[in-house]
Amino acid sequence: MQVKVYVPKTVEIPSEYLPALVQRANDNLGDAGRSVAASRGHLVRQAVRDGLLRELDHLMSEDDAVDLYCDPGSEIPLEIENRTVTLTELLEALQNKKASWGIKSEDLSDKQPGITPRRRAA
């Protein structure tokens, strides 16, 4: 099993670079830049793209995407039947699915919960 882990790290971006970073981040978003709420992530990812944070260069892919999150609290929670679930509830749902593997899938079509990520409004 391969799991991606995000480790807290503090970075410093000099204040004088912020206006230019905001502008380039906005330009990169194009028309969406007008409707997307700004975040620290936008600034840090742009700083990585611009080479201001060389110690984070390894997080940038060949297509210029930066695999970096600044606010772990904004992770997308999972939902079952349009309801956010706790880890315990998710575990119960997965155990119920495992216990019913011997039954044909069409018999469970109305009973199997769909697990989907919940997106937060921008």
The residue ranges of DSSP E strands in 1-122, in sequence order, are 78-80, 83-84, 115-117
* Average pLDDT over the chain, rounded to an integer: 74
More confident residue, 83 or 67: 67
Residue of 82, 71, 61 lying closest to 40 (CA atoms): 71
Dist CA 53 CA 57 (whole Å): 7
What average pLDDT does the segment 95-103 reach?
57
**How much is the pLDDT for 95?**
65
Give the pLDDT confidence of 10-62 residue by residue, as tens digits: 999 887 787 788 778 878 878 776 666 777 788 889 999 999 999 999 999 99
